[in-house]
Amino acid sequence: MKINKLGFLILSVLSITQVMGQGSDREITFDDAVKKRIFSEKRINGLRSMNDGKHYSVQERGKIVKYSYKTAEKVEDVFSVDMLDLPGGGSIGNYAFSSDDSKILVAIGKERIYRHSYRADYYVYDFGTGQSVFLSDNGKQQLATLSPDGNKVAFVRDNNLYFFDLETGQKKRLTDDGEHGKIINGAPDWVYEEEFAFSKGFAWSPDSRRIAYYRTDETLVKKFIVTAYGGGLYPDWWDFKYPKAGETNSIVSIRVVDLDSGSDEEMDTGDETDQYIPRIKWTRRPGELCILRLNRHQNKLDVILADAVSGTSKVILEDENEYYIREPQDETVVFLEDGKHFIYTGDREGYYHFSRYDMEGNEISRITEGEWDIIDFLGLDQKRGILYYTSYEGSSVQSNVWSIKLDGSGKRMISDTKGWNTAEFSKTYDYYIHTHSDVRTPKYITLHNSKGKVLKILEDNARLKERAASYGIPEKELITITTSEGVELNAYMYKPKGFTENGNYPLMMHVYGGPGAQNVQDSWGTSSLHYLLLERGYVIVSVDNRGTAGKGEAFRKATYLQLGKYETIDQIEAAKYLGNIPWIDAERIGIWGGSYGGFMSAMCITAGADVFKLAMAVSSVTNWKYYDTVYTERFMRTPRENPDGYEKNSPVYYADRLKGHLLINHGMVDDNVHMQNSVDLVEALIQAGKQFEWMFYPDQAHGIYQRGAAPHMATKLMQYVEENL
């Protein structure tokens, strides 16, 4: 179907809108959608393969339960808190089995630090003896981890690294210079945890004799202070080191401590200290540590091999990119058991793919190739030489599960139904748990053997599908739009309940839009807020602008040095096209989002003031100079290097253009996107004489969900839409 309106072309409609249970008059209420969340999919939380590869475990009602892969039947309750001598009780926050499944390490009473990190009381329970060991009575610990032989535990407390010998009862502090705001041993600082997505800054050697660890000197990093009111007579002040774009980072070094000799050696990571070490991991060769080194511009990644005894190192692989290197993951480098090869994942000819190298850094073969990106590394069956992954091959909105041999032959698609697919494999790769969803199907979770045979349906979400039909929930449509610049954009659309083409409906657009993100997928469901809007006669649309995932490097990195510019252009043009559809009211178009989506919403209502009547910006960046070094400089470089990119891609710059209704929401103790961002925009709007609304949430972090804040915010958002759109 070709429509020549404003230079747009709908290229394809992947599903036809059907209203399930059409004619139903059952009303979607606020309690249904937001408080009870009756349209949320059921998942299997905490499921993980046990190390024998024959069983998996799940947390159920305060217990850890063991199931058989072969029969999918419950075997036994493996562990419960009642098996520990806890003076004050508690609940299981996390757990891990030893390599032979003879012991379990459990975290009790988690206390949040940042997004991923926490402190807890850790216990080790021995199934053979029935005895438990409490790691330390000198305060809660972080990151407790069993050694590969299961006889020791390493952990961090008060910025120092410790180990506990379970056989001898020996406890030892391995570092002694840890200090808040200065030195961190064994854990990352705030920006490493948030942007390189890891919270454990140490790694046991395969022989359990050594521990490699991060030593982070954040002395020169400027601190940020947040105010927590908490109902006390005087507020609390909470400070932490946060390097904003262009500012000083921590100096990170990698050290290896030998538990037998007590030696503590620094690894050679080069003379430059203004750089990043986003990952460390041990190779398959004794005493050899791999270190990934990334320059500050993040367009050059080195794979380094270091000798754990002497600290000497050599670079075996250099990966450079015109724009930036995708942030390294645990699976960026995977070492083979033969000790002679490794797998590296990176952008190749414009797409993200696997290659096999020898230990000198010579490429042996490409494992995957094609004009599509790898999505996730799912696992490597070392015994059979088979790699499992998901990719966008065939569609930029669909994920399928694939297997392939390490020489690139024998590629096979494991998922047999189109949509959004992923899988979790047993440790021996004899079984896997497959999760499928599409626009018509909520999460469908099945257990399979290695040949693909379905052994059991673990969750079909049939009741959810029936419930959606009984409420007349419309089906998600997937469409592709081409802008006036010839850029193809994926989008999804929901038409409201009771839709007719003779109607005149307001449109609410939902956006995230950040680099490498993706809202538009061939999968079930949407935001609880959207279900309420569908009940009240709104069209819901989400558009993935340039910079998002699924379409290769050129599309993904099109926003380099200009975060917000092309994304905003795409959202504005999409809104103009949608407003030209006969049954959409072009005078009643709104947009909303959180975090990067909040930034985009603020940009659209200011830079795109002639198109949008309303915007709601939640937890928003408003000027990239306020955000952290790692994320911001990856895409923008520093404010000194790219002043126009920072200034002209900020809603503060366009505050005087505001014409519609703007609601700004922010948590007051947001350690990620500081409320300073919203304050800056508020001040600019005041100076421009613009009216707006601002809702701040005391003692709420980035997510704004604790102590009743989530339903309160949802109520505010709904009221704002209904009153102003």
Answer yes or no: is 283 within a domain.
no
Distance CA 191, CA 170 (A): 34
pLDDT tens for 104-144 read 999 999 999 998 899 999 999 999 999 999 988 888 999 99
**What kind and span of H or E run contains 661?**
strand 661-667
Position 19 pLDDT exceeds 50:
no
Mean pLDDT of 631-640: 98
Answer yes or no: is 486 within a domain.
yes
Mean pLDDT of 610-639: 97
pLDDT recorded at residue 162: 97
Residue pointed to by tokens 């757990």: 95
- Measured in whole angstroms, the distance separating CA 229 from the mean position of its chain's CA atoms is 29
Q: Are strands 210-217 and 171-173 parallel, antiparallel or unpaired?
A: unpaired
Query: Three-class SS of residue 73?
Result: coil
Please tell me the total count of domains within the chain: 1
Reported confidence tier of residue 24, pLDDT bands at 50, 70, 90: low
Token pair in block for residue 644: 């126009």
Mean pLDDT of 413-442: 96
Q: Are strands 505-510 and 539-544 parallel, antiparallel or unpaired?
A: parallel
Position 14 pLDDT exceeds 60:
no
Task: Find the domain containing 688 and state its range.
Answer: 9-41+472-724
Mean pLDDT of the chain: 93
pLDDT recorded at residue 46: 74
Answer yes or no: is 595 within a domain.
yes
Answer yes or no: is 388 within a domain.
no
Answer yes or no: is 537 within a domain.
yes
Answer yes or no: is 14 within a domain.
yes
Distance CA 145, CA 259 (A): 15
Inter-residue contact 15 to 458 (CB < 8 Å) = no
We report the CATH number of the domain holding residue 588 as 3.40.50.1820
Determine what percent of the chain is predicted with pLDDT higher than 90: 85
Token pair in block for residue 460: 């079909």
pLDDT tens for 183-214 read 999 999 999 999 999 999 999 999 999 999 99
Residue pointed to by tokens 């050899």: 288
Reported confidence tier of residue 44, pLDDT bands at 50, 70, 90: confident
Position 16 pLDDT exceeds 50:
no
Helical axes 565-579 vs 596-607, angle rounded to 10°: 60
Position 22 pLDDT exceeds 80:
no
User: For residue 159, how many other CB atoms are within 10 A of its CB?
Assistant: 20
Mean pLDDT of 383-408: 97
Inter-residue contact 80 to 64 (CB < 8 Å) = yes
Distance CA 356, CA 28 (A): 53
Three-state SS letters, 380-413: EECCCCEEEEEECCCCCCCEEEEEEECCCCCCEE
Answer yes or no: is 669 within a domain.
yes
pLDDT recorded at residue 87: 64
Mean pLDDT of 4-31: 46
pLDDT tens for 542-598 read 999 999 999 999 999 999 999 999 999 999 999 999 999 999 999 999 999 999 999
Reported confidence tier of residue 17, pLDDT bands at 50, 70, 90: very low
Q: Are strands 505-510 and 584-594 parallel, antiparallel or unpaired?
A: parallel
Answer yes or no: is 320 within a domain.
no
| Sign of the dihedral defined by the CA atoms of residues 285, 291, 292, 293, in that order | negative
pLDDT recorded at residue 23: 44
Residue pointed to by tokens 């707006």: 692
Position 248 pLDDT exceeds 50:
yes
Distance CA 693, CA 696 (A): 10
Q: Which of 6-10, 153-157, 290-294 has the lowest mean pLDDT?
A: 6-10
pLDDT recorded at residue 88: 59
Distance CA 531, CA 536 (A): 9
**Can you spell out the DSSP letters for 495-518?**
PPTT--TT--EEEEEE----TT--
Distance CA 693, CA 724 (A): 12
The terminus-to-terminus CA distance of the chain in angstroms comes to 30
